[in-house]
């Protein structure tokens, strides 16, 4: 929390300044009220009207400053919320493949949405309001001291009580905030899974199950928040009762001083409000501290993400010789997938990986990409250990086309270029080599056709062709293809494969489950993988 407040110290200082000025003006208005009341008690109409006019002008200034305060405070909160999201996004980008996929995407969505709103509600608003409440207490004390020292002494005693009392609840509120955060993240993940499976439940006429699970997720979100809210309310009730007791005692003190002639009777009009400014201000400050305590688990997530951030690395020089795999072994949860695998991929040549499902073909590609660093053995890139390079450096030369293609919910053009600028010639070549040009001709909007969520407006084959065009246009020298033509008809599959095989500057490593004897002849080498084994053919 303090990191973002310090990072935006100019903006937060402006907000704090207005908080101090606004509450100072409100305390000053109480002094004006005493003067107005004193003139009324002495039947001095002229003086009464004068102080009434000054009071009106002061209230006008107060509300104007409140409007400025709201403007700068909302701007500060918006800025810090955006920075938190930016840091979360950066942290996710710097997670390795295994760590990133260890958690469900629904939880990450919760971090970017629910957690940010909770931070705003439990941290930013309470912090700025805490500054205001402290200012309210201090201004009220200053004015009380100007009236009589005993009023200040009484306010200090009440301050001590109101500050020490909430410490009894800090630990409990922090624990409840943690439970809220965890429950929300889990609920969002469950909700995402439920929505993605809606068609399956409909198909099997399980609409009641959908509603039941939806209601369960909803209550999972609301229950911890409800408990946190009414617990805060219960604590607030205790604090409010103590505040009322202190305020009644202060009224008794003011009346006693007025009877003794030590303060003017008009203090009765505003003195009680000033004392209330101390007790209520401290009461509110105590509750705001509880909110800030409940926000700590949300910032701990951000702190954890910040620790994963990596420094930028220089670009990896283009490979010119070969990629060598020596005694590569890998296992998922103690289940061996690859065992002492040895093979070589020479730059510019074309390779196929074949074998039954589960023998490690896709795993091998992900190891080459740097996504699965927990392998044993050695991968040499032109004689240099691949572990000396980051995933980003490896992906500067490698492009990956997976079997289950993901497309963004935007146009075909944007899915191919990913926001980068290419010449028309580059674009047309990628469309031709991916066999996508024919599909675009039949689409009214061509390249500007919106693909829909997860590419649902396109067929499986069209999605694969878009992914192939995306890989080709970005001109990576090494292309890893995981069943990238499985959804294409034989004619288009031949066109795409022939284009990839004919490119002399491209190193191709392609996974296929159905490679004919004739097809094998097109590759420089075919590696056939067996479960926990690899043999060159």
pLDDT in tens, 343-370: 999 998 999 998 888 888 888 998 898 8
10 Å CB burial of residue 194 (0-12, 13-18, 19+) is middle
Contact 247, 273 (CB under 8 A): no
Comparing 159 with 526, the larger pLDDT belongs to 526
Query: If DSSP states are collapsed to H, E and C, what string results for 409-443?
Result: CCEHHHHHHCCCCCCHHHHHHHHHHCCCHHHHHCC
The full DSSP string for 77-132 is HHHHHHHHHHHHHHHHHTS-HHHHHHS-HHHHHHHHTHHHHHHIIIIIHHHHHHHH
pLDDT at position 324 is 92
**Segment 232-260, tens digit of pLDDT:** 788 778 777 877 787 777 778 777 877 78
Pairing of strands 322-332, 376-381: antiparallel
**Segment 167-196, tens digit of pLDDT:** 777 777 777 777 777 777 778 777 777 777
Q: Return d(Cα 245, Cα 229) in angstroms, integer.
A: 24
Q: Return d(Cα 250, Cα 508) in angstroms, integer.
A: 84
Q: Return d(Cα 76, Cα 80) in angstroms, integer.
A: 6
**Of the ranges 172-176, 261-265, 420-424, 492-496, which one carries the lowest mean pLDDT score?**
492-496
3-state secondary structure of 191: helix
Structure tokens at 110: 């919760």
**Segment 37-89, tens digit of pLDDT:** 778 777 888 888 898 899 899 889 989 999 999 999 999 988 988 888 888 87
- Residues contacting residue 229 through CB under 8 Å, at least 6 positions apart: none
- The rounded percent of the chain whose pLDDT value lies above 90 is 8
pLDDT at position 537 is 38
Tell me the average pLDDT across 418-442.
86
Tell me the average pLDDT across 472-478.
82
For residue 270, name the pLDDT band (cuts at 50, 70, 90): low
Tell me the average pLDDT across 407-431.
88
Tell me the average pLDDT across 391-418.
84
| Terminal alpha carbon distance of the chain | 59
pLDDT at position 6 is 85
pLDDT at position 488 is 62
For residue 305, name the pLDDT band (cuts at 50, 70, 90): very low
Give the highest mean pLDDT range of 222-231, 288-297, 321-330. 321-330
**Of the ranges 256-270, 380-394, 473-487, which one carries the lowest mean pLDDT score?**
256-270
**Segment 200-220, tens digit of pLDDT:** 666 666 667 778 888 888 887
**Segment 510-526, tens digit of pLDDT:** 888 777 788 788 899 99
Number of neighbouring beta carbons within 10 Å of residue 182: 14
Structure tokens at 70: 């709201």
For residue 14, name the pLDDT band (cuts at 50, 70, 90): very high
DSSP state of 309: -
pLDDT over 80 (residue 161): no
Identify any residues that bridge with 325 across adjacent strands, giving them in sequence order.
Answer: 343, 379
- Residues contacting residue 265 through CB under 8 Å, at least 6 positions apart: 38, 41, 258
Tell me the average pLDDT across 495-513.
80
Q: Return d(Cα 508, Cα 399) in angstroms, integer.
A: 10
DSSP state of 262: S
Sign of the Cα torsion 301, 332, 401, 343 reads: positive
pLDDT at position 487 is 58
Q: Return d(Cα 367, Cα 369) in angstroms, integer.
A: 5
Tell me the average pLDDT across 296-313.
56
Q: What is the mean pLDDT of the chain?
A: 80
Structure tokens at 401: 């086309």
Tell me the average pLDDT across 95-110.
74
Which of 181, 132, 187, 184 shows the shortest CA–CA distance to 293? Answer: 181
DSSP state of 383: T
pLDDT at position 154 is 80
Sign of the Cα torsion 262, 266, 268, 272 reads: negative
Tell me the average pLDDT across 1-15.
86
Detail the DSSP E strand segments found in 223-300. none
Comparing 147 with 380, the larger pLDDT belongs to 380
């Amino acid at each position: 929390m303090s990191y973002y407040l310090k990072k935006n110290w100019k903006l937060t200082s402006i907000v704090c300044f207005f908080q101090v000025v606004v509450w100072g003006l409100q305390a000053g208005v109480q002094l004006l009220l005493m003067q107005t009341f004193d003139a009324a008690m002495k039947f001095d109409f002229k003086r009464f009207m004068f102080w009434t006019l000054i009071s009106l002008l002061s209230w006008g200034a107060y509300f104007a400053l409140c409007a400025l305060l709201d403007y700068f405070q909302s701007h500060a909160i918006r800025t810090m919320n955006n920075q938190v999201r930016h840091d979360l996004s950066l942290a996710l980008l710097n997670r390795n493949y295994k760590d990133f996929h260890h958690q469900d995407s629904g939880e990450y969505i919760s971090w970017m949405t629910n957690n940010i709103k909770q931070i705003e509600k439990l941290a930013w608003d309470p912090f700025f309001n805490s500054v205001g409440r402290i200012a309210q207490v201090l201004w009220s004390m200053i004015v009380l001291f100007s009236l009589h020292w005993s009023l200040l002494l009484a306010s200090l005693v009440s301050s001590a009580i109101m500050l020490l009392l909430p410490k009894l609840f800090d630990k409990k509120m922090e624990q409840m905030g943690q439970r809220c955060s965890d429950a929300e993240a889990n609920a969002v993940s469950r909700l995402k899974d439920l929505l993605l499976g809606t068609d399956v439940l409909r198909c099997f006429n399980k609409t009641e199950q959908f509603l039941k699970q939806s209601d369960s997720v909803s209550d999972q979100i609301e229950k911890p928040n409800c408990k946190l809210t009414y617990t805060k309310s219960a604590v607030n009730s205790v604090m409010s009762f103590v505040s009322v007791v202190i305020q009644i005692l202060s009224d008794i003190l003011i009346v006693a001083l007025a009877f003794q002639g030590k303060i003017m009777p008009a203090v009765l009009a505003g003195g009680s409000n000033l004392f209330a400014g101390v007790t209520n201000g401290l009461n509110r400050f105590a509750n705001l501290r509880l909110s800030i305590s409940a926000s700590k688990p949300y910032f701990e997530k951000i702190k954890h993400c910040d620790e994963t951030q990596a420094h930028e690395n220089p670009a990896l020089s283009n490979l010119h010789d070969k990629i060598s795999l020596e005694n590569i072994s890998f296992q998922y949860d103690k289940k061996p997938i690859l065992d002492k695998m040895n093979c070589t991929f020479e730059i510019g040549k074309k390779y196929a990986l074949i074998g039954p499902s589960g023998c490690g073909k896709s795993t091998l590609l992900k190891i080459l990409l740097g996504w699965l660093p927990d392998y044993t053995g050695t991968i040499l890139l032109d004689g240099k250990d691949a572990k000396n390079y980051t995933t980003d450096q490896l992906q500067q030369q490698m492009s990956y086309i997976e079997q289950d293609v993901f497309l963004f919910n935007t146009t075909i053009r944007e899915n191919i270029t990913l926001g980068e600028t290419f010449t028309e010639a580059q674009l047309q070549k990628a469309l031709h080599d991916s066999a996508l040009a024919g599909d675009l001709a039949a689409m009214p909007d061509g390249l500007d056709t919106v693909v829909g969520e997860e590419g649902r407006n396109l067929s499986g084959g069209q999605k694969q062709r878009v992914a192939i065009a995306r890989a080709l246009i970005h001109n990576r020298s090494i292309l890893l293809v995981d069943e990238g033509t499985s959804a294409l008809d034989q004619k288009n599959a031949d066109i795409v494969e022939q284009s990839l095989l004919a490119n002399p500057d491209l190193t191709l490593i392609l996974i296929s489950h159905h490679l004919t004897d004739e097809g094998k002849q097109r590759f420089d080498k075919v590696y056939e993988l067996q479960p926990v084994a690899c043999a060159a053919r």
